[in-house]
């Protein structure tokens, strides 16, 4: 049985002080032993977030990371800077980073490998555009994203990874995928992992759905056999996130 994992993606929201306030407000609401709960917050707030989450079930994740160890990469964050302060997860290849910061499947792969090298669990994002869905190429596209993202990743590492299926047309739009649409793609992702590795890896890896998840849509989505939780943007900044975590 895979344990569900529900992660908030705060994007570029909340100052460090506001982060402490929001974590204090949310921590009693997201208390759960059944679900892994992760808050991915802006880099500048990570230290304060980790302090504020002490003694709770909340793990803190970063929203991005660079794939080099150190050096002349102005503005970037190295993996050992994250582990040094206790960061456990990192979102890799979110569609906003692909769209606005020129991330590619190849840079996603380098970051995934580097995260594993440092013992950070990557939340690897994939997803199709509306045009791709309308053209009927969704599954082919996602399979290609996954195959490149997991190049040279071992099966032991892949077992511990998290994949977030996030259709771009559903992110921040209020248009949540139907549970059938989300299940179909998450099942295809699991099949792709099985083809790359084996059944055991496919059964172990956790696959989230992300895209306009709310307290209303969470329970049906997360009840699907291949959906192991969610990556939640807008609703993770509100008390509603507690309802999403306790979706049952």
For the question of residue 166 being annotated catalytic, the response is yes
Q: What end-to-end distance do the CA atoms of the chain give, in Å?
A: 16
- Residue 93 interacts with ligand PEP (CB under 6 A): yes or no: no
Q: Does 171 bind ligand PEP (CB under 6 A)?
A: yes
Q: Does 234 bind ligand PEP (CB under 6 A)?
A: yes
- Residue 37 zone, left/alpha/beta (φ > 0; ψ -120 to 50; rest): beta
Which residue among the candidates 63, 94, 96, 128 is catalytic per the annotation? 94
Total residues at interface with ligand PEP (CB under 6 A): 14
> In this structure, what DSSP letter does residue 67 have?
S
Is residue 11 marked as binding? yes
Closest by Cα among 230, 102, 211, 105 to 167: 211
Would you count residue 211 as binding ligand PEP (CB under 6 A)? yes
Cα–Cα distance for residue pair 108/125, rounded to 1 Å: 9
CB proximity list for 71: less than 8 A, separation 6 or greater: none
Among the residue ranges 18-26, 153-161, 190-198, 233-241, the one whose residues contact ligand PEP (CB under 6 A):
233-241
DSSP labels, 197-233: S-HHHHHHSEEEEESS--HHHHHHHHTSTT--EEEES
Binding segment for ligand PEP among 65-73, 110-118, 144-152, 210-218 (CB under 6 A)?
210-218
Q: Among 169, 212, 222, 238, which residue interacts with ligand PEP (rule: CB under 6 A)?
A: 212
Applying CB under 6 A, which of residues 168, 231, 237, 244 lies at the interface with ligand PEP?
231
Assess whether 94 carries a catalytic annotation.
Answer: yes
Please name every residue paired with 90 in a beta bridge, in sequence order, or none if there are none: 62, 122
Residue 233 is a binding residue for ligand PEP (CB under 6 A):
yes
Smallest gap, in angstroms, from Cβ of residue 244 to ligand PEP? 10
Half-sphere exposure of 82 (CA within 13 A, CB side): 33
Distance of CA 165 to the CA centre of its chain: 8
Return residues touching ligand PEP (CB under 6 A). 9, 11, 166, 171-172, 210-213, 231-235
Residues marked as catalytic? 94, 166
């Amino acid at each position: 049985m895979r344990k569900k994992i529900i992660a908030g993606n705060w994007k570029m929201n909340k100052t460090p002080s506001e982060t402490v306030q929001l974590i204090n407000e949310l921590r009693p609401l997201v208390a759960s032993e059944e679900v892994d709960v992760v808050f991915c917050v802006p880099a500048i707030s990570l230290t304060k977030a980790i302090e504020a989450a002490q003694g709770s079930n909340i793990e803190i994740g970063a929203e991005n990371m660079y794939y080099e160890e150190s050096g002349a990469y102005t503005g970037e964050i190295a993996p050992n800077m994250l582990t040094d302060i206790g960061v456990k997860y990192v979102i890799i290849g979110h569609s906003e980073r692909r769209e606005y910061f020129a991330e590619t499947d190849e840079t996603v792969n380098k970051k995934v490998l580097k995260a594993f090298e440092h013992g950070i669990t990557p939340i690897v994002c994939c997803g199709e555009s509306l045009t791709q869905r309308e053209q009927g190429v969704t599954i082919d596209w996602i399979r290609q994203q996954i195959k490149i993202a997991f190049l040279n990743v071992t099966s032991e590492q892949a077992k511990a990874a998290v994949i977030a299926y996030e259709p771009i047309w559903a992110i921040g739009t209020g248009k949540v995928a139907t549970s059938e649409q989300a299940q179909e793609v998450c099942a295809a992702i699991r099949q792709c992992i099985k083809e790359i590795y084996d059944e055991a890896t496919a059964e172990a890896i956790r696959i989230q759905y992300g895209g306009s998840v709310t307290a209303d849509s969470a329970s049906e989505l997360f009840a699907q056999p291949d959906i192991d939780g969610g990556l939640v943007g807008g609703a993770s900044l509100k008390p509603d996130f507690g309802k999403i975590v306790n979706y049952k």
